[in-house]
Structure 1
């Protein structure tokens, strides 16, 4: 397996790094990084990040940048419908994930890991409306075991105050504090069941989340970004599960309608061609 070079020449990725750093400065974000030394200097690794908002990937990636590495994210394949996003994905070794063809994304992620890259995964798969950790999918553990690389757990806290589901968008100069912690890398036991190792990862990240929250400072009662456990107005995990189940159903119905429309268009095109 390749040890993987440290950050090298990638003009498109470099441009994105400049844009991200400029955006952070323009917003006056108060970034705090701990555990950067836990990011491997070389070689592949699976970076597992909690998912609380739409822009938490930025501080997570900037911390990896400070370690001299770059992050290859798994993202929804829908972005490939947009030309500029398709260009960025193709020039940054990003891995698009089509849920109907998950095996393709899994193989691509394994290839990145074996080539010595850091691949970022959100084990929760979707944003947590409760801002607590949801149940984890086992894909991160499985790919780490198969590629023979460590897992680096990471917690981002505060970025959801900028933009998240069900909350106001605060992307201006708000001077919002954002804390990012990278935990100690650990190796997945290939002889253990993925479900058990996934539970271990969840326990590690849940402990880290509470530690980061404790160090973050005051969590004002009633605030939308504060978990119910800490006195905020965010839904409890149980309430969030109901909201998310309804949301998932609506999305599935929308995908089905879109697929049916594509099928009708293809059928009509074929009929016209046969005339």
Structure 2
């Protein structure tokens, strides 16, 4: 369902991807696409999307492509370590994101891509949601920072249904019957007042919150449900898990020490 013809050269990598993947997506999915025309036909733009499945980059890329753009996704660097896949992803203009320490390289590449007029796709959560209800989690600051620095529009995108094709962290897909992929593109998030104040930790945090709230609103509309008042915080959850694990290990060590003392006393 091509809504708008492609406005730029595909290149060989995108040509191969489209020839192979688009027929599969047409076969395995049904599409409920809403407001895709809000994606500008040309010019730099950031799409900020919620993340529920390892396949939702493919279903999102399908929407973006059929609205005349090539998505430049920020993808985890591990995907690029495979020689063949990494070569292919780089040829398709995808941007590797290091988990630790080198995030600035991905940020700089994304800013440069936007300034060249590219459509950059960001998953602010940074990983597939761990929320029990698959609602968007708290977001990282990349999308807001890019929008504030470049002045480009940041469009919130809600998507729902890709998890039925491949569940979060599932090892096997459920390919049949076809799954309906719901995607809604929101109006650009208004960051104008924050841009006037400059790029500071406070404006970045405020922008990040606005973007996440807008994504949640799109997902709520797709699901016909209301999201939890408090978003799942992955960092806080991991810290709690780590503290619980350390407490358990300390308790086990204490029990082992007590057992040793008792045995020595009996001897």
TM-score range (shorter-chain normalised) is: 0.7 to 0.9
SS at structure 2 position matched to 1:198: helix
Matches of 2:74 and 2:139, distance apart in 1: 15
Matches of 1:57 and 1:95, distance apart in 2: 13
CA drift at 1:244 = 9.0
Q: 1:139 to 1:160 in 2, by over 3 A?
A: same
CA drift at 1:151 = 0.3
Indicate the residue corresponding to 2:119 in structure 1: 118
SS at structure 2 position matched to 1:191: helix
Matches of 1:238 and 1:82, distance apart in 2: 31
Q: 1:134 aligns with which of 119, 127, 137?
A: 137
Indicate the residue corresponding to 2:153 in structure 1: 150
Bigger radius of gyration among the two: 2
Indicate the residue corresponding to 2:172 in structure 1: 169
Q: How does 1:1-275 map to 2 (within 5 A)?
A: 6-27=7-28, 29-99=29-99, 100-130=101-131, 131-167=134-170, 169-189=172-192, 190-192=195-197, 193-214=203-224, 237=232, 242=237, 246=241
Contact 2:160 2:182 in 1 (8 A): yes
Contact 2:43 2:118 in 1 (8 A): yes
CA drift at 1:35 = 0.6
Matches of 1:239 and 1:96, distance apart in 2: 21
The alignment yields a C-alpha RMSD, in angstroms, of 2.8
Give ranges in structure 2 of 5+ residues lacking alignment.
1-5, 198-202, 246-267
Matches of 1:79 and 1:133, distance apart in 2: 23
Structure 1 length-normalised TM: 0.74
CA drift at 1:240 = 11
Contact 1:26 1:173 in 2 (8 A): no
Give ranges in structure 1 of 5+ residues lacking alignment.
216-226, 230-235, 251-275
CA drift at 1:154 = 0.5
